[in-house]
Structures are given as structure tokens and as C-alpha cells.
């Protein structure tokens, strides 16, 4: 029977296959990981090979649940229920180093409230105030209690502490409050300048669909992980009725070929997106660009439930 595990490093990279990796990938394979060292150690060409050579699939944040369905040596084959995918109806599939996973007692892990990291990067602290690990934006952990300065959370390292200013608390039964498209844009603008990372799903780097997935998650919406799946769900929107927060999809051959990119409509003919390796998250005017010619589809997942903040 499949067993439920959680990620016990700040960000676990999900690989396409198990086994030996490039020497330069070593910082991403350990426990603890050193994501910043891994990223800084790669040239643009070496970053591109993550995609070109089909090395990685996605990422999983600290405390996120995965289901282990198989093992091979020091690797675990997993599916990720929180990342919907047409690749597997149970969740996004791939391989994670076993040292980055920890089996859990599901009943003990389930709490009434959850704390969600709202800063780009924060520190998870022990009772002495010493850093346990860095945590990315949108990391979620069960709440055990609180005091004047910290939220007490259950973590793979036991009871730990998050600064109040770096996290929100909400009931698990209600999920994150649903916000409108304007707020999706407001959230996303905070990441302008962050370098693109193929497979990236953390504040250390996002790919195009990981960025749209995560900004929707932050606004209270569960959408598919990959652009191809995102383009098939949600509400189809005519291009003359676009509103901020809608997803824009792009395909080769002037929109008639294979879909290859997704961005978030910013308004005023602009797009907020994570372009490709070697580029940073940006706000781009579509007029006169290749994207204008390749635009093929638009979808809306958000609802007009909140006023712009």
C-alpha cells in the first residue's frame, strides 16, 4: 500500500528518473539542500539542460505531502497530490532522493489550522531561536499554537516557530481566501526580477507554469501544474474580454503549433510572466513581440470575490 510522506528539506527537486546526476547538481540532492549554491553554480547553458535534457519535472516545498509508490536504491518514486497533472490522476509524478522525505503519522499531522509563508523566504526556527532551515513562499505547516511573536508549527523537525510577520494562519477546512485577478497580479508583481528556473516552484525560481500555478495558489485557487493542462481547464475567455489575472497561452507556428508558454494577463496589453532560462520574471508589453503572434488561448480560474487590495 502506498505510504504518505512529507518533504523534509526547504525545496525538493523532482527528477524525471532516479540514479546519478551531474556533479553540479549535488547541492540539490542532499539533506539539507543548498538551493542557492546549486543555482549559483550553474551556467545559463547548464540551467537550460534541465529542460533540454528532460532532467527535472517540478519541485515540492518543505512539509508538502507526497505519496511514495516505488523505490530504487536511494530514490523514491512519488506522486504529488497537490499538483494536478494529466501525467497521473493521483498527482504529479517523478523521483526524489529518499533522504529528502520523511514518513508521517497522518492523524498526528492533520491540524485544524495551517500557517502559510507569505514572505519570499523566511527562517524556520527552533525553540532557542536558531534557524532550522529556510522556507519558501507558500510553504504550509500545521499550527500547534502561538505566542506574541511566533506561530508554533508542526514540522518534519518537530515543533518549530515562524515569525508572525512572515506567515498567515487560516482554517484548513476553508483554505486560503479566494481573491480576484487584480490581486493575483499584485502578488505576482512581488517576484519581478526573479530568475527563471525550469521546473521551479519556489521563491528561489519559477518556470512559466509554476509561476502561474503558484500565484493562483496564493490567491486561493487550485489549478493544474503544467501549461498544457492549464490551457484545457478554467473558463475560456475571448481576447477582447481579457481581465488582469487571466492566463494567456502561446504556441509555435503563430499560435497553431505546439503550446510552449503561459503568462498572466497584466492589463493594458501587458503580460506578467517567467519567460525562459536566462531571463527574469517581467512585465512585458505584448504589442510587437513574438508573443503577440503566438497567442492562442486564454483561460480564467479566478472569481470576482474580493476587491483589489
Comparing CA positions, the residue from 298, 292, 302, 303 lying closest to residue 232 is 298
Residue-wise DSSP of 1-29? --EEEEE-SSEEEEESS-S---GGGHHHH
pLDDT at residue 76, as a whole number = 97
Cβ contact 252:18 at 8 Å = no
pLDDT at residue 217, as a whole number = 97
Active-site residue flag, 123: no
Mean pLDDT of 225-246: 98
Mode of pairing for the β-strands spanning 158-163 and 75-80 = unpaired
127-159 per-position pLDDT tens digit: 999 999 999 999 999 999 999 999 999 999 999
Assigned architecture for domain 3-106: Roll (2.30)
pLDDT at residue 110, as a whole number = 87
Cβ contact 55:49 at 8 Å = yes
Choose, from 150, 152, 208, 216, the residue flagged as catalytic.
Answer: 208
pLDDT at residue 307, as a whole number = 44
The CATH class for the domain spanning 181-300 reads: alpha beta
Query: What is the share, in percent, of the chain residues with pLDDT greater than 90?
Result: 92
Active-site residue flag, 260: no
Active-site residue flag, 273: yes
Choose, from 261, 276, 296, 303, the residue flagged as catalytic.
Answer: 261
247-285 per-position pLDDT tens digit: 999 999 999 999 999 999 999 999 999 999 999 999 999
* Per-residue three-class SS string for 137-202: CCCEEEEEEECCCEEEEEECCEEEEEEHHHEEEEECCCCCCCCCHHHHHHHHHCCCCCECCCCCEE
pTM of the model: 0.95
Cβ contact 29:7 at 8 Å = no
Phi, psi of 239 (to 5 degrees): -65, -25
Q: Where in the chain is the domain with CATH 3.90.1720.10?
A: 181-300
The whole-angstrom separation of Cα 48 and Cα 42 is 9
pLDDT at residue 168, as a whole number = 95
Assigned architecture for domain 111-171: Roll (2.30)
- pLDDT of residue 308 exceeding 80, the answer is no
Q: What pLDDT band is residue 107 in, cutting at 50, 70 and 90?
A: confident
Q: Where in the chain is the domain with CATH 2.30.30.40?
A: 3-106, 111-171
Mean pLDDT of 98-127: 94
Report residue 220 as a C-alpha cell: 486561493
Phi, psi of 253 (to 5 degrees): 55, 45
Choose, from 273, 276, 296, 303, the residue flagged as catalytic.
Answer: 273
pLDDT at residue 1, as a whole number = 56
32-75 per-position pLDDT tens digit: 999 999 999 999 999 999 999 999 999 999 999 999 999 999 99
Query: What is the share, in percent, of the chain residues with pLDDT greater than 70?
Result: 97
Taking only Cα atoms into account, the Rg of the chain, rounded to an integer number of angstroms, comes to: 19
pLDDT at residue 235, as a whole number = 97
Amino acid at each position: 500500500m502506498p505510504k504518505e510522506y512529507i518533504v523534509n528539506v526547504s525545496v525538493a527537486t523532482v527528477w524525471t528518473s532516479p540514479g546519478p546526476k551531474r556533479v553540479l547538481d549535488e547541492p540539490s540532492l542532499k539533506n539539507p539542500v543548498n538551493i542557492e549554491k546549486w543555482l549559483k553554480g550553474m551556467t545559463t547553458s547548464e540551467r537550460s539542460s534541465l529542460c533540454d535534457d528532460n532532467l527535472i519535472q517540478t519541485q515540492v516545498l518543505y512539509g508538502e505531502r507526497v505519496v511514495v509508490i516505488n523505490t530504487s536504491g536511494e530514490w523514491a518514486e512519488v506522486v504529488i497530490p497537490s499538483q494536478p497533472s494529466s501525467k497521473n490522476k493521483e498527482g504529479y509524478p517523478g523521483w526524489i532522493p529518499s533522504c529528502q522525505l520523511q514518513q508521517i503519522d497522518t492523524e498526528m499531522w492533520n491540524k485544524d489550522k495551517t500557517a502559510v509563508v507569505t514572505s519570499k523566504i523566511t527562517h524556520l526556527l527552533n525553540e532557542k531561536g536558531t534557524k532550522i532551515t529556510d522556507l519558501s513562499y507558500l510553504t504550509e505547516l500545521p499550527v500547534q499554537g502561538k505566542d506574541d511573536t511566533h506561530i508554533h508549527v508542526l514540522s518534519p523537525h518537530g515543533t518549530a516557530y515562524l515569525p508572525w510577520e512572515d506567515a498567515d494562519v487560516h482554517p484548513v477546512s476553508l483554505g486560503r481566501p479566494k481573491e480576484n485577478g487584480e490581486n493575483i497580479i499584485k502578488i505576482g508583481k512581488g517576484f519581478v526580477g526573479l530568475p527563471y528556473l525550469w521546473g521551479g516552484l519556489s521563491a528561489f525560481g519559477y518556470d512559466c507554469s509554476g509561476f502561474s500555478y503558484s500565484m493562483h495558489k496564493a490567491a486561493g485557487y487550485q489549478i493544474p501544474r503544467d501549461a498544457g493542462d492549464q490551457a484545457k481547464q478554467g473558463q475560456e475567455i475571448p481576447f477582447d474580454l481579457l481581465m488582469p489575472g487571466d492566463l494567456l497561452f502561446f504556441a509555435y507556428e503563430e499560435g497553431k503549433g505546439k503550446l510552449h508558454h503561459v503568462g498572466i494577463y497584466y492589463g493594458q496589453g501587458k503580460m506578467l510572466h517567467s519567460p525562459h532560462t536566462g531571463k527574469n520574471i517581467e512585465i512585458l508589453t505584448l504589442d510587437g513581440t513574438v508573443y503577440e503572434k503566438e497567442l492562442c488561448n486564454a483561460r480564467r480560474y479566478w472569481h470576482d470575490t474580493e476587491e483589489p487590495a
